[in-house]
Amino acid sequence: MGRKVLILNQDFTAFSICSVPKAFLLVYMNKAEMVSHDNKTRLRSVTTSFPLPTIIRLNRYVSRPFRNTGVILNRHNVFRRDNHRCQYCSSSRDLTLDHVRPKSRGGNTSWDNLITACKKCNSKKGDFTPEEAGMILLQQPFKPSFVMFLRDFTERVSEDWLNYLGKKQA
């Protein structure tokens, strides 16, 4: 079962996403309440059926330190942010990470300096900045917020999630 469930904090702010079994367990153990469920699908045991949760809300407020509210910087998340496309030529083949400002020239490994690039463009750029190599970025790298990442970069976002994640920008 590959479906995901949106977890809201007690104040109805987006907190995380989890699998259906984990969400069901949180509701069953009274650690969360079901806010929304799928009307077409049910979870079944031998003797009983239960609604399939799509959104749950934690019964207790869980404090998140400011530094932990962002999206984890890793290869997979950079690729998702960049829509699995090279930020120079828009190719979706042989993808790798590229430091916009090379590490050898003081560039750091951060959301604002990493982009998705195909091996051909990464090799062409080499140890130069895009400007020095005569290459243009399709979009400037940025650090997505947690809510933005859930809303815009998660593969399957349920319609009922949008009320808690804000409207998706066109």
pLDDT in tens, 27-45: 999 999 999 999 899 999 8
CB-based contact 14:23 (threshold 8 Å): no
Counting runs of H as helices and runs of E as strands, what totals does the chain give?
A: 6, 6
Which letter does DSSP use for residue 53 in this model? E
Looking at residue 170, its pLDDT comes to 41
The domains of the chain, with CATH numbers, are: 4-66+146-165 (no CATH), 72-133 (1.10.30.50)
- What is the overall mean pLDDT for the chain? 89
pLDDT for residue 1 is more than 70? no
Residue 131: both structure tokens together: 């400007």
Tell me: the pLDDT tens digits for 53-84? 999 999 999 987 654 557 889 999 999 899 99
DSSP tag of 109: S
pTM of the entire predicted model: 0.66
Strand-pair partners of 95: 118
